[in-house]
A and B are shown apart, each in its own frame.
Chain A
Amino acid sequence: MTVVGIWIAAFLTLAIFSFLYKDNPVYKFAEHLYVGVSAGYYVIYVWSTDIRPLLFNPFVQTHAQTGSWGASLSQNAALFIPAVLGVVMLLRAFPKIAWVSRWPISFMVGIGAGLAITADVQGYLFPQVQATLVPLWVRGSLFTTFNNVLLFVGVVGSVGYFYFSREHKGFLGGLSKIGILFIMVAFGASFGYTVMARISLLIGRIHFLFADWLHLIR
Protein backbone atom coordinates (compact mmCIF):
# COMPACT_ATOMS: atom_id res chain seq x y z
CA MET A 1 0.00 0.00 0.00
CA THR A 2 2.77 2.41 0.92
CA VAL A 3 4.61 1.77 -2.35
CA VAL A 4 1.46 2.40 -4.37
CA GLY A 5 0.86 5.55 -2.34
CA ILE A 6 4.35 6.84 -3.04
CA TRP A 7 3.93 6.24 -6.75
CA ILE A 8 0.64 8.12 -6.74
CA ALA A 9 2.25 10.96 -4.80
CA ALA A 10 5.24 11.06 -7.16
CA PHE A 11 3.00 11.13 -10.21
CA LEU A 12 0.93 13.98 -8.77
CA THR A 13 4.08 15.89 -7.82
CA LEU A 14 5.46 15.67 -11.36
CA ALA A 15 2.07 16.48 -12.84
CA ILE A 16 1.90 19.75 -10.92
CA PHE A 17 5.51 20.61 -11.80
CA SER A 18 4.72 20.07 -15.49
CA PHE A 19 2.64 23.23 -15.28
CA LEU A 20 5.87 25.24 -15.10
CA TYR A 21 6.62 24.33 -18.70
CA LYS A 22 3.12 24.92 -19.99
CA ASP A 23 -0.49 23.93 -19.55
CA ASN A 24 -0.90 20.30 -20.59
CA PRO A 25 -3.31 17.37 -20.19
CA VAL A 26 -1.37 15.89 -17.29
CA TYR A 27 -1.57 19.12 -15.31
CA LYS A 28 -5.23 19.49 -16.21
CA PHE A 29 -5.84 16.00 -14.93
CA ALA A 30 -4.04 16.67 -11.63
CA GLU A 31 -5.70 20.05 -11.21
CA HIS A 32 -9.22 18.70 -11.64
CA LEU A 33 -8.49 15.75 -9.42
CA TYR A 34 -7.06 18.10 -6.79
CA VAL A 35 -10.08 20.41 -6.83
CA GLY A 36 -12.48 17.48 -6.64
CA VAL A 37 -10.68 15.51 -3.95
CA SER A 38 -9.99 18.54 -1.77
CA ALA A 39 -13.57 19.81 -2.05
CA GLY A 40 -14.77 16.45 -0.75
CA TYR A 41 -11.97 16.20 1.74
CA TYR A 42 -12.99 19.43 3.48
CA VAL A 43 -16.62 18.37 3.78
CA ILE A 44 -15.48 15.34 5.77
CA TYR A 45 -12.84 17.30 7.66
CA VAL A 46 -15.32 19.98 8.73
CA TRP A 47 -17.82 17.33 9.75
CA SER A 48 -15.21 15.55 11.78
CA THR A 49 -13.62 18.57 13.47
CA ASP A 50 -16.47 21.13 13.60
CA ILE A 51 -19.99 19.84 13.17
CA ARG A 52 -19.70 16.55 15.04
CA PRO A 53 -17.79 17.84 18.11
CA LEU A 54 -19.56 21.20 18.33
CA LEU A 55 -23.10 20.37 17.31
CA PHE A 56 -23.72 16.65 17.87
CA ASN A 57 -21.39 15.55 20.63
CA PRO A 58 -22.92 17.87 23.28
CA PHE A 59 -26.29 16.14 22.84
CA VAL A 60 -24.75 12.68 22.94
CA GLN A 61 -22.66 13.51 25.98
CA THR A 62 -25.53 14.95 27.98
CA HIS A 63 -27.58 11.93 27.09
CA ALA A 64 -24.82 9.66 28.29
CA GLN A 65 -24.61 11.57 31.58
CA THR A 66 -28.31 11.97 32.32
CA GLY A 67 -29.68 9.00 30.46
CA SER A 68 -32.53 11.05 29.05
CA TRP A 69 -32.85 12.58 25.59
CA GLY A 70 -35.34 15.12 26.94
CA ALA A 71 -32.77 16.53 29.32
CA SER A 72 -30.15 16.43 26.60
CA LEU A 73 -32.35 18.45 24.21
CA SER A 74 -33.34 21.04 26.77
CA GLN A 75 -29.84 21.52 28.20
CA ASN A 76 -28.35 22.08 24.77
CA ALA A 77 -31.29 24.04 23.40
CA ALA A 78 -29.05 26.98 22.48
CA LEU A 79 -27.39 24.82 19.84
CA PHE A 80 -30.60 24.82 17.84
CA ILE A 81 -29.94 28.44 16.94
CA PRO A 82 -26.79 27.80 14.86
CA ALA A 83 -28.32 24.57 13.53
CA VAL A 84 -31.37 26.42 12.25
CA LEU A 85 -29.29 29.28 10.89
CA GLY A 86 -27.06 26.74 9.14
CA VAL A 87 -30.04 25.09 7.49
CA VAL A 88 -31.48 28.46 6.54
CA MET A 89 -28.17 29.23 4.86
CA LEU A 90 -28.68 26.25 2.59
CA LEU A 91 -31.96 27.77 1.34
CA ARG A 92 -29.72 29.96 -0.74
CA ALA A 93 -29.84 27.16 -3.29
CA PHE A 94 -33.56 27.77 -3.88
CA PRO A 95 -34.01 31.12 -5.65
CA LYS A 96 -37.55 31.81 -4.42
CA ILE A 97 -36.68 31.76 -0.73
CA ALA A 98 -33.00 32.55 -1.10
CA TRP A 99 -33.49 35.90 0.65
CA VAL A 100 -33.97 34.15 4.02
CA SER A 101 -30.29 33.26 3.95
CA ARG A 102 -29.53 36.95 4.42
CA TRP A 103 -30.32 36.53 8.09
CA PRO A 104 -27.48 34.16 8.92
CA ILE A 105 -25.21 36.09 6.58
CA SER A 106 -26.00 39.27 8.50
CA PHE A 107 -25.29 37.42 11.72
CA MET A 108 -21.86 36.38 10.47
CA VAL A 109 -21.03 39.80 9.07
CA GLY A 110 -22.09 41.33 12.38
CA ILE A 111 -19.79 39.06 14.38
CA GLY A 112 -16.89 39.81 12.06
CA ALA A 113 -17.38 43.56 12.06
CA GLY A 114 -18.06 43.72 15.81
CA LEU A 115 -14.97 41.75 16.71
CA ALA A 116 -12.90 43.76 14.26
CA ILE A 117 -13.75 47.05 15.97
CA THR A 118 -12.19 46.16 19.30
CA ALA A 119 -9.53 43.86 17.86
CA ASP A 120 -8.28 46.56 15.47
CA VAL A 121 -7.81 49.01 18.32
CA GLN A 122 -6.48 46.61 20.94
CA GLY A 123 -4.56 44.28 18.68
CA TYR A 124 -3.16 46.58 16.01
CA LEU A 125 -3.52 50.26 16.60
CA PHE A 126 -2.54 50.67 20.25
CA PRO A 127 0.41 48.25 20.24
CA GLN A 128 1.80 49.82 17.07
CA VAL A 129 1.49 53.34 18.44
CA GLN A 130 3.01 52.30 21.75
CA ALA A 131 5.95 50.57 20.13
CA THR A 132 6.72 53.75 18.21
CA LEU A 133 6.99 55.87 21.35
CA VAL A 134 10.75 55.69 21.75
CA PRO A 135 13.12 58.32 23.11
CA LEU A 136 14.71 60.34 20.29
CA TRP A 137 17.93 60.77 22.20
CA VAL A 138 19.57 57.87 23.96
CA ARG A 139 22.50 58.89 26.09
CA GLY A 140 25.66 57.00 25.24
CA SER A 141 24.38 55.25 22.15
CA LEU A 142 24.46 57.20 18.93
CA PHE A 143 23.35 54.09 17.05
CA THR A 144 20.19 53.56 19.09
CA THR A 145 19.44 57.28 18.81
CA PHE A 146 19.80 57.06 15.05
CA ASN A 147 17.57 53.98 14.84
CA ASN A 148 14.90 55.56 17.01
CA VAL A 149 14.79 58.73 14.94
CA LEU A 150 14.63 56.67 11.76
CA LEU A 151 11.82 54.56 13.19
CA PHE A 152 9.80 57.63 14.13
CA VAL A 153 10.30 59.29 10.75
CA GLY A 154 9.45 56.05 8.95
CA VAL A 155 6.22 55.51 10.86
CA VAL A 156 5.02 59.10 10.47
CA GLY A 157 6.00 59.07 6.79
CA SER A 158 4.15 55.90 5.97
CA VAL A 159 1.07 57.03 7.91
CA GLY A 160 1.31 60.22 5.87
CA TYR A 161 1.24 58.20 2.66
CA PHE A 162 -2.21 56.99 3.65
CA TYR A 163 -3.61 60.49 4.14
CA PHE A 164 -6.35 60.63 1.52
CA SER A 165 -8.25 63.87 1.84
CA ARG A 166 -5.55 66.25 0.71
CA GLU A 167 -3.38 66.52 -2.39
CA HIS A 168 0.08 65.10 -1.75
CA LYS A 169 1.97 68.37 -2.28
CA GLY A 170 4.23 70.50 -0.15
CA PHE A 171 4.91 69.17 3.36
CA LEU A 172 2.47 66.27 3.03
CA GLY A 173 3.97 65.49 -0.37
CA GLY A 174 7.46 65.27 1.12
CA LEU A 175 6.25 63.23 4.05
CA SER A 176 4.41 60.70 1.92
CA LYS A 177 7.44 60.47 -0.37
CA ILE A 178 9.55 59.49 2.64
CA GLY A 179 6.80 57.06 3.57
CA ILE A 180 6.79 55.34 0.20
CA LEU A 181 10.58 54.99 0.29
CA PHE A 182 10.37 53.23 3.64
CA ILE A 183 7.54 51.06 2.33
CA MET A 184 9.66 50.02 -0.65
CA VAL A 185 12.61 49.07 1.56
CA ALA A 186 10.21 47.05 3.72
CA PHE A 187 8.72 45.23 0.75
CA GLY A 188 12.13 44.42 -0.66
CA ALA A 189 13.33 43.17 2.71
CA SER A 190 10.35 40.91 3.37
CA PHE A 191 10.60 39.58 -0.16
CA GLY A 192 14.23 38.66 0.43
CA TYR A 193 13.44 37.25 3.85
CA THR A 194 10.90 34.81 2.40
CA VAL A 195 13.16 33.33 -0.29
CA MET A 196 14.78 30.91 2.14
CA ALA A 197 11.53 29.36 3.33
CA ARG A 198 10.32 28.96 -0.25
CA ILE A 199 13.48 27.18 -1.35
CA SER A 200 13.14 24.88 1.68
CA LEU A 201 9.77 23.81 0.28
CA LEU A 202 11.28 22.89 -3.04
CA ILE A 203 14.10 21.01 -1.32
CA GLY A 204 11.42 19.04 0.49
CA ARG A 205 9.68 18.07 -2.74
CA ILE A 206 12.85 17.18 -4.62
CA HIS A 207 14.05 15.15 -1.68
CA PHE A 208 10.78 13.23 -1.75
CA LEU A 209 11.27 12.40 -5.41
CA PHE A 210 14.91 11.38 -5.10
CA ALA A 211 14.78 9.58 -1.78
CA ASP A 212 11.30 8.18 -1.14
CA TRP A 213 10.40 7.47 -4.73
CA LEU A 214 13.58 6.79 -6.70
CA HIS A 215 15.85 5.82 -3.79
CA LEU A 216 18.69 7.71 -5.44
CA ILE A 217 19.77 9.26 -2.16
CA ARG A 218 19.38 8.23 1.40
Chain B
Amino acid sequence: MMKREIPLLITFLTGLLMVVQFFVPHRPIGQIGTGVLSWYTIIAGFTLLLGIDSLVGMHLKKLQRKQSGWGYSIMLILGLLLALGLGIFSEIKYGSALAFGSPFMYLYTYMMVPLQATMFSLLAFFIASAAYRAFRARTLEASLLLVAAMIVMLGRVPLGAAIWGKFPILAEWIMTVPNAAATRGILIGVALGGLAMSLRILLGIERTYLS
Protein backbone atom coordinates (compact mmCIF):
# COMPACT_ATOMS: atom_id res chain seq x y z
CA MET B 1 0.00 0.00 0.00
CA MET B 2 2.62 2.53 1.14
CA LYS B 3 5.06 1.21 -1.45
CA ARG B 4 2.81 0.99 -4.48
CA GLU B 5 -0.68 2.46 -4.14
CA ILE B 6 0.32 5.75 -2.55
CA PRO B 7 3.05 6.45 -5.12
CA LEU B 8 0.58 5.69 -7.92
CA LEU B 9 -1.93 8.03 -6.32
CA ILE B 10 0.70 10.77 -6.02
CA THR B 11 1.56 10.42 -9.71
CA PHE B 12 -2.09 10.54 -10.67
CA LEU B 13 -2.91 13.59 -8.56
CA THR B 14 0.14 15.68 -9.48
CA GLY B 15 -0.34 14.79 -13.14
CA LEU B 16 -4.01 15.69 -13.03
CA LEU B 17 -3.22 18.96 -11.30
CA MET B 18 -0.74 19.88 -14.01
CA VAL B 19 -3.40 19.22 -16.65
CA VAL B 20 -6.07 21.18 -14.77
CA GLN B 21 -3.87 24.23 -14.20
CA PHE B 22 -3.42 24.43 -17.97
CA PHE B 23 -7.13 25.03 -18.45
CA VAL B 24 -7.92 27.13 -15.37
CA PRO B 25 -6.36 30.59 -15.38
CA HIS B 26 -8.05 31.68 -12.14
CA ARG B 27 -5.95 32.12 -9.00
CA PRO B 28 -4.57 30.07 -7.34
CA ILE B 29 -4.81 27.15 -9.78
CA GLY B 30 -3.33 28.86 -12.79
CA GLN B 31 -0.27 29.84 -10.79
CA ILE B 32 0.43 26.36 -9.46
CA GLY B 33 2.48 25.37 -12.48
CA THR B 34 5.24 27.89 -11.93
CA GLY B 35 5.48 27.18 -8.22
CA VAL B 36 5.60 23.44 -8.65
CA LEU B 37 8.37 23.75 -11.22
CA SER B 38 10.63 25.47 -8.75
CA TRP B 39 9.86 22.72 -6.25
CA TYR B 40 10.84 20.26 -8.89
CA THR B 41 14.18 22.00 -9.41
CA ILE B 42 14.87 21.90 -5.69
CA ILE B 43 14.14 18.19 -5.36
CA ALA B 44 16.22 17.40 -8.45
CA GLY B 45 19.09 19.37 -6.90
CA PHE B 46 19.12 17.08 -3.87
CA THR B 47 19.41 13.98 -6.01
CA LEU B 48 22.88 14.96 -7.22
CA LEU B 49 24.16 13.82 -3.83
CA LEU B 50 22.84 10.33 -4.58
CA GLY B 51 24.95 10.36 -7.73
CA ILE B 52 28.07 11.44 -5.88
CA ASP B 53 27.42 8.68 -3.34
CA SER B 54 27.27 6.08 -6.11
CA LEU B 55 30.32 7.42 -7.97
CA VAL B 56 32.57 7.67 -4.94
CA GLY B 57 31.36 4.33 -3.57
CA MET B 58 32.20 2.56 -6.81
CA HIS B 59 35.69 3.98 -7.08
CA LEU B 60 36.51 3.47 -3.42
CA LYS B 61 35.61 -0.18 -3.91
CA LYS B 62 37.94 -0.32 -6.89
CA LEU B 63 40.71 1.13 -4.76
CA GLN B 64 40.13 -1.30 -1.92
CA ARG B 65 40.26 -4.27 -4.25
CA LYS B 66 43.16 -2.82 -6.20
CA GLN B 67 41.23 -3.55 -9.40
CA SER B 68 42.95 -2.77 -12.68
CA GLY B 69 43.07 0.97 -13.26
CA TRP B 70 42.69 1.86 -9.58
CA GLY B 71 45.22 4.65 -10.11
CA TYR B 72 42.70 6.41 -12.31
CA SER B 73 40.11 6.08 -9.57
CA ILE B 74 42.40 8.15 -7.36
CA MET B 75 42.50 10.83 -10.07
CA LEU B 76 38.74 10.81 -10.30
CA ILE B 77 38.26 11.24 -6.57
CA LEU B 78 40.94 13.93 -6.40
CA GLY B 79 39.24 15.78 -9.25
CA LEU B 80 35.92 15.59 -7.42
CA LEU B 81 37.46 16.86 -4.20
CA LEU B 82 39.26 19.62 -6.06
CA ALA B 83 36.02 20.90 -7.60
CA LEU B 84 34.09 20.65 -4.33
CA GLY B 85 36.91 22.24 -2.35
CA LEU B 86 37.39 25.18 -4.70
CA GLY B 87 33.62 25.59 -4.90
CA ILE B 88 33.09 25.75 -1.16
CA PHE B 89 36.12 28.04 -0.73
CA SER B 90 34.79 30.38 -3.42
CA GLU B 91 31.29 30.35 -1.95
CA ILE B 92 32.66 31.51 1.38
CA LYS B 93 35.32 33.91 0.14
CA TYR B 94 33.52 35.46 -2.83
CA GLY B 95 29.89 35.05 -1.83
CA SER B 96 29.22 32.88 -4.86
CA ALA B 97 31.24 30.16 -6.53
CA LEU B 98 30.35 31.69 -9.88
CA ALA B 99 31.72 35.11 -8.93
CA PHE B 100 34.22 36.45 -11.40
CA GLY B 101 37.83 35.69 -10.62
CA SER B 102 37.05 33.01 -8.03
CA PRO B 103 39.23 29.87 -8.01
CA PHE B 104 36.15 27.88 -8.92
CA MET B 105 35.76 29.89 -12.12
CA TYR B 106 39.45 29.31 -12.83
CA LEU B 107 38.71 25.59 -12.69
CA TYR B 108 35.76 26.16 -14.99
CA THR B 109 37.71 28.21 -17.54
CA TYR B 110 40.83 26.08 -17.77
CA MET B 111 39.51 22.59 -17.12
CA MET B 112 35.78 22.30 -17.76
CA VAL B 113 35.73 24.50 -20.85
CA PRO B 114 38.56 22.81 -22.77
CA LEU B 115 37.32 19.36 -21.81
CA GLN B 116 33.74 20.08 -22.87
CA ALA B 117 34.77 21.85 -26.04
CA THR B 118 37.20 19.15 -27.08
CA MET B 119 34.74 16.31 -26.48
CA PHE B 120 32.17 18.28 -28.44
CA SER B 121 34.63 18.89 -31.30
CA LEU B 122 35.25 15.15 -31.65
CA LEU B 123 32.00 15.27 -33.59
CA ALA B 124 33.83 16.84 -36.54
CA PHE B 125 35.77 13.57 -36.86
CA PHE B 126 32.90 11.25 -36.09
CA ILE B 127 30.53 12.93 -38.50
CA ALA B 128 33.11 12.27 -41.22
CA SER B 129 33.66 8.61 -40.33
CA ALA B 130 29.93 7.96 -39.96
CA ALA B 131 29.24 9.58 -43.32
CA TYR B 132 31.95 7.55 -45.03
CA ARG B 133 30.69 4.28 -43.65
CA ALA B 134 26.94 4.71 -43.87
CA PHE B 135 26.44 6.68 -47.05
CA ARG B 136 26.63 3.79 -49.51
CA ALA B 137 24.15 3.51 -52.35
CA ARG B 138 23.07 0.03 -51.28
CA THR B 139 19.33 0.53 -51.48
CA LEU B 140 16.94 3.21 -52.66
CA GLU B 141 16.57 4.48 -49.09
CA ALA B 142 20.29 4.63 -48.50
CA SER B 143 20.81 6.40 -51.81
CA LEU B 144 18.29 9.07 -50.91
CA LEU B 145 20.03 9.59 -47.57
CA LEU B 146 23.32 9.94 -49.40
CA VAL B 147 22.15 12.30 -52.13
CA ALA B 148 20.25 14.58 -49.75
CA ALA B 149 23.25 14.79 -47.43
CA MET B 150 25.67 15.61 -50.27
CA ILE B 151 23.46 18.33 -51.72
CA VAL B 152 22.88 20.01 -48.38
CA MET B 153 26.58 19.79 -47.52
CA LEU B 154 27.50 21.47 -50.78
CA GLY B 155 24.78 24.04 -50.37
CA ARG B 156 26.15 25.19 -47.03
CA VAL B 157 29.67 26.29 -48.03
CA PRO B 158 30.91 28.92 -50.51
CA LEU B 159 32.66 26.13 -52.40
CA GLY B 160 29.36 24.44 -53.24
CA ALA B 161 27.99 27.63 -54.74
CA ALA B 162 31.19 27.94 -56.76
CA ILE B 163 30.71 24.46 -58.23
CA TRP B 164 27.09 25.02 -59.15
CA GLY B 165 25.24 28.21 -58.31
CA LYS B 166 21.98 26.36 -57.61
CA PHE B 167 23.31 24.20 -54.77
CA PRO B 168 22.34 26.60 -51.97
CA ILE B 169 18.82 26.98 -53.39
CA LEU B 170 18.37 23.24 -53.82
CA ALA B 171 19.67 22.60 -50.30
CA GLU B 172 17.25 25.18 -48.95
CA TRP B 173 14.37 23.51 -50.82
CA ILE B 174 15.22 20.09 -49.41
CA MET B 175 15.28 21.54 -45.92
CA THR B 176 11.97 23.37 -46.23
CA VAL B 177 9.87 20.88 -48.19
CA PRO B 178 10.74 17.15 -47.94
CA ASN B 179 12.63 17.57 -44.68
CA ALA B 180 9.84 19.58 -43.10
CA ALA B 181 7.22 17.05 -44.25
CA ALA B 182 8.99 14.04 -42.76
CA THR B 183 9.92 15.86 -39.55
CA ARG B 184 6.27 16.83 -39.19
CA GLY B 185 5.12 13.24 -39.62
CA ILE B 186 7.62 12.03 -37.04
CA LEU B 187 6.60 14.77 -34.61
CA ILE B 188 2.90 13.95 -34.96
CA GLY B 189 3.75 10.35 -34.11
CA VAL B 190 5.97 11.37 -31.21
CA ALA B 191 3.25 13.65 -29.82
CA LEU B 192 0.61 10.91 -29.96
CA GLY B 193 2.98 8.32 -28.54
CA GLY B 194 3.99 10.69 -25.75
CA LEU B 195 0.37 11.48 -25.03
CA ALA B 196 -0.52 7.80 -24.76
CA MET B 197 2.54 7.08 -22.64
CA SER B 198 1.72 9.95 -20.27
CA LEU B 199 -1.85 8.77 -20.02
CA ARG B 200 -0.71 5.24 -19.21
CA ILE B 201 1.59 6.62 -16.54
CA LEU B 202 -1.11 8.74 -14.90
CA LEU B 203 -3.56 5.85 -14.93
CA GLY B 204 -0.98 3.55 -13.40
CA ILE B 205 -0.93 1.17 -16.37
CA GLU B 206 2.70 1.94 -17.09
CA ARG B 207 4.51 1.59 -13.78
CA THR B 208 7.94 0.23 -14.56
CA TYR B 209 9.44 3.17 -12.70
CA LEU B 210 8.03 1.70 -9.52
CA SER B 211 9.52 -1.77 -9.97
Contacts and interface: CB of A to CB of B under 8 A. Distances in A.
A169 B80 CA distance: 57
Size range of the chain B interface in the assembly: 35 or more
B100 interface: no
Contacts of A12: 111, 114-115, 118
Given A102-B3, A151-B180, A158-B181, A187 B145 contact: yes
A155 B19 contact: no
B8 interface: yes
B100 to A, nearest CB: 13
Contacts, number: 390
Residue of A38, A44, A55 contacting most chain B CB atoms (<10 Å): A44
Given A29-B75, A158-B182, A192-B148, A48 B98 contact: yes
A131 B35 CA distance: 33
Interface of A: 1, 4-6, 8-10, 12-13, 16-17, 19-20, 28-51, 54-55, 78-79, 81-83, 85-87, 89-90, 92-93, 99, 102-118, 120-122, 124-125, 128-129, 131-132, 147, 150-159, 161-162, 179-196, 198-199, 201-202, 204-205, 208
Given A48-B97, A110-B10, 19 more contacts: A17-B118, A28-B69, A40-B81, A103-B10, A107-B43, A112-B198, A114-B19, A114-B198, A118-B19, A132-B184, A147-B173, A147-B177, A154-B181, A182-B182, A185-B178, A188-B149, A189-B175, A195-B127, A195-B131
